[in-house]
Amino acid sequence: MVPNPFSWLLRAVGVAIARLGLISEERARRTSELAWPRIVTGVARMSKSATDVAMVGVALGSTAIAGVGYAGPYWGAAFSIGGGLAAGTIALVSQRFGADAFDELGQAIRSSAALTVAATLPVAAAFYLYPEFLIGLLTDSQQSTQYGADYLRVLAFGVPFAGLNLVGSRALIGADDAYTAMLLRGGGAVINIGLNAVFIFGLGMGVVGAGLGTVVSNVVVTGAFVVGLARGGLPLVGAFPVTVSPFGAYWVREECRDVVEIGLPVVGRNSVWTAARFPLLAFMALLGEPVVAAYVVARRIFGIMNTPGWGFGLAASSLVGQELGQGEENTAAAYGREITLFSVATYVLFAAVVGVFATDIVVLFVESPSDPSVPIAVDLVYVAALAVIPQGISAAAAGALDATGDTRWPFYSRILGMFGGAIPLVYLGATTELGMLGVYLSLFAETCVPAVVNYYRFGTGKWRAISREYRPDAAD
């Protein structure tokens, strides 16, 4: 494994916390080994998403940024479905991997893939057939609607592939290999950025080019996962920890049921953010298009700051699941607690760096630093840098609960945070004198509520009994 700054930094943070006696150095080492590749993947993919917006903004202006932003919640639906079902994948794979039940791994992966395709195809059809109607639900601006519809129609072709990428990634991470998943998905993000530059600037395709780059890169990555899992590895990438025959059964009732039971609440949890973005953007529109553009930019930056959660959440899912597969419930509990602390420390570092360079980052998204959305976006980024820190608790605790099959409470916490806190606060900001303060407070409501609820639930230990329902026979 090639040394890199992310790996070194994460290990340094883990060692520092361990030297304070707050976590086990061995558990910190294992966590960092799994988390850093996923964080790099997250940075690459969220940077890709931010680059989409930046390139579109530079080429076409803030109206196009708003249009792409209006399409964002719909594209997020693919990740809500794929990511949710993939939570079932990682729970089943990690427990079977920990129990050395390798013969059961392939069926869990095939069933997850079949369910993902079946669930995402109708979504893709809706995006292709009715993009103007869907975007028009969020804005009255004809130009923004057209930009968003053009972007969404192209993205429709990438929806199933985006879901399958998540299943492939979670399968590898559950088998203790986050590095290969990083190479494939992070490499896909780099390809996406390169294609965007060619399509948007070289060929003058605008938002259509941004969408096309996303589709092509997702198809390439899906192909890599399929070939790698079928052959047990890829040239230049190396061996995969598992090999899955593509000719086995795809529908096995018990496996599909377990994937759905574990994954459906996660689909719901992911869909909460997707669904919440619709009223959030609609209420933002009441504050003016510069505010919408600023919010879209700030959310992209928030996404980059939130990438430690990608790593720590999935590390918790894998490591907690592996310990449960061996029947080590107390060690699983220790991993959950210590990964949460490790996660928060890393979030603080990420947020501090972004806060220092907030203005410099924001101006990369616009044609001119004098764009009216810039000062609004800078203030939002400062607030987001503080509000994102509780995500360190929320993501790690949710990842640990996912490994146990206890996925409902993170779903409930997300609903409460978004629909009980964030959305009402944005609405008050748009319709009363509260103004932008309501938007600022909404960011804290979105992150603090799930942090409290998820960590409380993990602390109760009720997941111990729940996890026993999903463990392989080899662990009995």
DSSP result, 347-382 = HHHHHHHHHHTHHHHHGGGSS-TT-THHHHHHHHHH
Tens of pLDDT, residues 142-155:
888 888 899 999 99
* CA–CA gap between residue 442 and residue 97 (Å, rounded): 40
**Structural tokens at position 368:** 């001119």
Burial label for 103, CB within 10 Å (0-12, 13-18, 19+), is: exposed
CB 389 within 8 A of CB 351: yes
- DSSP class of residue 474 equals G
With a cut of 50, which residues of the chain have pLDDT below it?
1-2, 474-476
Tell me if residue 451 falls in helix, strand or coil.
helix
Segment 398-408, tens digit of pLDDT: 988 988 888 78
* 386: CB partners within 8 A, 6+ apart: 351, 444
Provide the pLDDT for residue 2.
Answer: 47
Rg of the Cα trace of the chain? 21
Phi, then psi, of 437 in degrees rounded to 5: -60, -35
Residues in the chain: 476
Range of the domain at 113: 5-475
- Burial code of 192-218, b = ≥16 C-beta within 10 A, e = fewer? bbebbeebbeeeebbbbbbbbbbbbbb
CB 367: neighbour CB atoms within 10 A? Answer: 13
The answer to whether residues 259 and 108 touch, using CB atoms and an 8 Å cutoff, is yes
Going by C-alpha positions, the residue among 396, 121, 115 that lies closest to residue 253 is 115
Strands (E), 356-467: none
Query: What's the CA gap between 472 and 463, in Å, rounded?
Result: 16
Query: How many CA atoms does the CB half-sphere of 92 hold within 13 Å?
Result: 27
Buried b (16+ CB within 10 A) or exposed e, 308-330: bbbbbbbbbbbbbbbbbbbebbe
Q: Largest Cα–Cα distance in the chain?
A: 65
The torsion angles phi and psi of 238, rounded to 5 degrees, stand at 115, -170
Closest alpha carbon to 187 in 241, 160, 224: 224
* Beta bridge partners of residue 239, listed in sequence order: 233
Tell me what pLDDT residue 50 has.
74
pTM reported for the whole predicted model:
0.70
Per-residue model confidence (pLDDT) at position 100: 67
Whole-number Å distance between alpha carbons of 123 and 223: 21
As a whole number of angstroms, the distance between CA 384 and CA 305 comes to 9
Please answer whether residues 367 and 58 qualify as being in contact, where contact means their C-beta atoms are separated by less than 8 angstroms. yes
Q: How far apart are CA 369 and CA 362, in angstroms?
A: 9
Per DSSP, the three-state class of 341 is: helix
Please list, in sequence order, all residues whose beta carbon lies within 8 angstroms of the beta carbon of residue 3, skipping any fewer than 6 positions away.
none
In Å, what is the CA distance from 150 to each residue of 201, 317, 443?
A: 17, 37, 30
319: part of which helix (H) or strand (E)?
helix 307-325
Is residue 11 within 8 A of residue 29, CB to CB? The reply is: yes
Give the count of domains, the chain: 1
For tokens 């061995």, the residue is 26
Contact between 272 and 131 (Cβ < 8 Å):
no
- Measured CA to CA, the distance from residue 177 to residue 182 in angstroms comes to 9
